[in-house]
């Protein structure tokens, strides 16, 4: 493996992410030495079709069995088809698809065969990023904060800032770029803020047969049901001190809270729940950040972005405003983390997942 990526110096890594929104696979190239970012390269996207998405949806919550195996086949096939088109990579960071996440119980389950992917691509593949962290007492999520620290350096940030990812589940990274390294105490705080797009996407599919509330068009016509919002904020998760993490379906009862509402009001209320979870999460930041940069699909929802701007006390902008790609940031993160794992560097720390000590989680599979 070291012949491919070397022991030091920058290397082109290819990262792939299939998120909790179940929309498809993102892939992106990053040039890095595992500490600094030297450049960003090609990106790609392979959507799941309706049948594939149904297979993945049916497997959510499964730890093993036929449904999990079927989901694994979908994930492996989609990744092989997309990643084969990238020619410059020295190694691959393969997240797989999370089906279940229970760090204080059964652990964490991501389907996807990294060894098979390594054979198919004839490249080293780093995968199973979360298990070691959970085994060491960590939450196993979020894993992007170390990459966010490198991104803050890349954009020249000097004041504390927050990266807010709004995918299926929301997660927040507080970054203090004045620290020398991401593992320094106080440099990072990372945790899941609550549900983001997943409940709204599920509502749209169940009621209207649509994958999402595109552009927030439905929510824009609705009214927020404050009683449901208050019940949502009573959930004990919001009072827990981070680090902390969620499974995609941990707040499945949200759909029940809006079950009797008209479509537009239900969409508006679920959107408000996402924003309210973020606002509660921001209370855990050690100091007020200079700005919040938003990544993930949620940044394309103007209703959600306006709710965030109203409820937070600092500027809220899409991550493109600082020159980064909000569609590919998570895929880029796993490219970056793959290099760190391959070179024996940490990928999480007490401030990001609550793990007891620095952990470099991940399995490296090398083709024969």
Q: Indicate the CATH number of 156-322 among 3.40.190.170, 3.40.50.720, 3.30.470.10, 3.30.420.40.
A: 3.30.420.40
105-109 LR contacts (CB < 8 Å, sep 24+)? 106/63, 107/131, 107/134, 107/135, 107/140, 108/134, 108/140, 108/141, 109/62, 109/63, 109/68
Which pLDDT belongs to residue 121?
97
pLDDT digits (tens, 9 = 90+) for 30-79: 999 999 999 999 999 999 999 999 999 999 999 999 999 999 999 999 99
Do 2-142+330-365 and 156-322 fold alike per CATH? Answer: yes
Closest alpha carbon to 16 in 75, 74, 79, 99: 79
Kindly tell me the burial class for residue 50, based on how many C-beta atoms sit within 10 Å of its own C-beta (0-12, 13-18, 19 or more): exposed
Low-confidence ranges of the chain (pLDDT < 70): 1-6
Residue spans per domain, the chain: 2-142+330-365, 156-322
pLDDT digits (tens, 9 = 90+) for 307-359: 999 999 999 999 999 999 999 999 999 999 999 999 999 999 999 999 999 99
Nearest-angstrom CA–CA distance, 145 and 25: 20
User: In 6-30, which positions are buried (b, 16+ CB within 10 angstroms) versus exposed (e)?
Assistant: eeeebbbbbbbbbbbbbbbbbbbbb
Q: Indicate the CATH number of 2-142+330-365 among 3.30.1490.20, 3.30.420.40, 3.60.20.10, 3.20.20.10.
A: 3.30.420.40
């Amino acid at each position: 493996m070291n012949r491919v990526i070397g022991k030091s110096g920058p290397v082109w890594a290819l990262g792939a992410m299939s998120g909790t929104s179940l929309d498809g696979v993102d892939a992106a190239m990053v040039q890095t030495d595992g500490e600094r970012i030297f450049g960003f390269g090609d990106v790609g996207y392979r959507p799941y079709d309706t049948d594939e998405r149904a297979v993945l949806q049916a497997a959510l919550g499964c730890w093993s069995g036929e449904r999990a195996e079927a989901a694994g086949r979908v994930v492996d096939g989609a990744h092989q088809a997309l990643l084969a088109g990238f020619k410059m990579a020295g190694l691959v960071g393969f997240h797989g698809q999370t089906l279940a996440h229970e760090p204080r119980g059964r652990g964490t389950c991501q389907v996807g065969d990294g060894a098979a992917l390594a054979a198919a691509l004839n490249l080293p593949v780093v995968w199973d990023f979360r298990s070691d962290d959970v085994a060491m007492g960590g939450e196993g999520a979020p894993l992007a904060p170390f990459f966010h620290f490198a991104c803050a350096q890349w954009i020249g940030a000097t004041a504390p800032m927050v990266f807010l990812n709004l995918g299926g589940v929301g997660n927040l990274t507080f970054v203090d770029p004045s620290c020398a390294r991401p593992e320094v105490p106080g440099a990072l705080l990372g945790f899941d803020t609550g549900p983001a797009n997943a409940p709204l996407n599920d509502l749209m599919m169940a009621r209207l047969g649509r994958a999402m509330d595109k552009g927030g068009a439905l929510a824009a016509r609705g009214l927020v049901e404050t009683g449901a919002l208050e019940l949502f904020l009573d959930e004990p998760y919001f009072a827990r001190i981070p680090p902390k993490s969620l499974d995609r379906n941990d707040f499945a009862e949200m759909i029940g809270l809006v079950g009797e509402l008209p479509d537009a009001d239900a969409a508006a209320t679920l959107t408000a729940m996402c924003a309210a979870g973020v606002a509660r999460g921001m209370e855990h930041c050690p100091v007020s950040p200079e700005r919040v940069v938003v990544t993930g699909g949620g940044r394309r929802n103007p209703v959600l972005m306006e709710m965030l701007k109203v409820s937070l006390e600092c500027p809220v902008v899409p991550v493109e405003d600082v020159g980064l790609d909000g569609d590919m940031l998570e895929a880029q993160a796993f490219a970056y983390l793959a290099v760190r794992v391959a070179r024996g560097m940490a990928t999480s720390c007490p401030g990001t997942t609550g793990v007891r000590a620095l952990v470099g989680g991940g399995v490296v599979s090398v083709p024969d």
